[in-house]
């Protein structure tokens, strides 16, 4: 049965956004997916029953379009973010100013619940522009909407993720995978479905507010995750430690190559900076368990969608 409340989801057609929309639909909410290119997200309309999911064009850099998207909404979720800059898509305009535009419009529209998706490592003093603007976005949201919920996930995994899929695909062709700084950085991967459940809980439970860091049940080093990928797809490869300064040079080369039309950088210097820091839930932080969620493990989810990278796909016989 459909509920009266409508939730506007900015970035709802992206990787994590699709999980969030499905989670809200299952709760019975009407969902408005605010996206720059609604014609590329038509499949979202069949996520729920007829009329439950609405697509609306909106650009977080355009306050007027943001105001239209939040009009009449009970809750707002902001998932807008980028890992690399390109064209008009800049960290400051999307992750900082964009978040401010959404939060201020939500207050003006009388929105009751607001959820901001940030990231573990968000820090205004960070050398990474990604991390610094995530923190600026958090501060802007808190200033405009004091009761907002801030969710900071670690590396997010799921069928369409850009982490496990990227390195599994790379291992199909490359004889070795790089280990930035020796692969010692720690990560706490969290399932996209659990991030979505956290968003739904934050919308539904008015007692939830403040900052929550979302991580899975186990912490891994970067090297351990590469070993897990190679074992899962049954493709032995060398793991080669690469000094961080060398990784920065690779990032610079990729950024220069990305000047060409339609070329996406495989790595940027800003991403290298992020790889120099652990990406795990702080010991004193509120976590996913405080939202009533038991997180899934990578071992229970990832092998299902990485099987396509094995030599014979689902018919491959493991050594």
User: Tens of pLDDT along 242-295?
Assistant: 999 999 999 999 999 888 877 778 899 999 999 999 999 999 999 999 999 999
- Report the DSSP pairing between strands 186-187 and 220-221: antiparallel
**Among 57, 27, 30, 215, CA closest to 121:** 215
CA distance 159 to 29: 24
H-only helix segments in 27-128? 63-70, 91, 97-108
For residue 102, what are the β-bridge partners?
Answer: none
Exposed / middle / buried, residue 155 (Cβ in 10 Å: 0-12, 13-18, 19+)? buried
**Domains of the chain from N-terminus onward:** 6-158+189-216+279-295 (3.40.50.720)
Residue 31 has a pLDDT of 98
Compare 245 and 88 and report the one with higher pLDDT: 245
For residue 273, CA distances in Å to 131, 185, 221, 248, 297 come to 10, 12, 16, 8, 27
Tell me the backbone φ, ψ of residue 281, rounded to 5 degrees.
-65, 130
CA distance 25 to 30: 7
Q: How confident is the model at residue 56 (pLDDT cuts 50, 70, 90)?
A: very high
- pLDDT tens-place string over residues 122-181: 999 999 999 999 999 999 999 999 999 999 999 999 999 999 999 999 999 999 999 999
Longest dimension (CA), the chain: 60
Mean pLDDT across 61-88:
95
Task: Say whether 46 sits in a helix, a strand or coil.
Answer: helix
Give the pTM: 0.96
Give me the residue label for tokens 């929309």. 21
Residue 261 has a pLDDT of 79
Handedness of CA 159, 267, 119, 88 (dihedral sign): negative
At CA 41, angle to CA 35 and CA 44, rounded to 5? 105
266-269 long-range contacts, CB within 8 A, separation 24+: 268/83, 268/84, 268/85
Task: Say whether 156 sits in a helix, a strand or coil.
Answer: strand
Give me the residue label for tokens 């200033």. 143
Q: Is the pLDDT of residue 319 over 80?
A: no
Is 216 in contact with 189 (CB distance < 8 Å)?
A: yes
Residue 318 has a pLDDT of 86
CA distance 120 to 102: 21
Q: Is the pLDDT of residue 317 over 90?
A: no
Mean pLDDT of the chain: 96
CA distance 313 to 39: 32
For residue 188, CA distances in Å to 20, 55, 111, 195, 220 come to 20, 33, 32, 13, 6
């Amino acid at each position: 049965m459909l509920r009266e409340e409508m939730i506007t989801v900015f970035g709802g057609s992206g990787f994590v956004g699709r999980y969030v929309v499905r989670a809200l639909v299952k709760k019975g909410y009407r969902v408005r997916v605010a996206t720059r290119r609604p014609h590329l997200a038509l499949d979202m309309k069949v996520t729920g029953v007829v009329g439950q999911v609405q697509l609306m064009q909106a650009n977080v850099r355009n306050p007027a379009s943001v105001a239209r998207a939040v009009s009449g909404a009970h809750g707002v979720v902001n998932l807008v973010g980028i890992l690399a800059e390109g064209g008009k898509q800049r960290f400051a305009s999307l992750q900082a100013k964009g978040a401010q535009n959404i939060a201020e419009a939500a207050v003006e529209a009388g929105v009751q619940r607001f959820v901001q998706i940030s990231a573990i490592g968000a820090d205004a003093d960070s050398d990474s522009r990604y991390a610094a603007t995530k923190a600026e976005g958090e501060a802007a949201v808190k200033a405009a909407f004091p009761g907002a919920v801030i969710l900071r996930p670690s590396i997010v995994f799921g069928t369409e993720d850009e982490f496990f899929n990227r390195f599994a695909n790379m291992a199909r062709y490359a004889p070795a995978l790089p280990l930035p700084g020796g692969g010692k950085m720690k990560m706490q991967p969290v399932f996209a479905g659990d991030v979505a459940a956290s968003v739904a809980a934050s919308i539904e439970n008015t007692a939830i507010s403040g900052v929550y860091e979302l991580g899975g049940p186990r912490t891994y080093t970067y090297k351990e995750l590469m070993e897990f990928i190679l074992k899962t797809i049954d493709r032995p490869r060398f793991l080669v430690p690469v000094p961080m300064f060398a990784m920065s040079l690779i990032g610079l080369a990729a950024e220069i190559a990305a000047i060409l039309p339609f070329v996406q950088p495989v790595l940027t210097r800003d991403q290298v900076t992020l790889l120099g820091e652990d990406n795990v839930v702080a010991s004193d932080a509120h976590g996913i368990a405080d939202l009533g969620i038991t997180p899934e493990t990578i071992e229970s989810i990832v092998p299902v969608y990485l099987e396509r990278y094995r030599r014979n796909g689902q018919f491959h016989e493991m050594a």
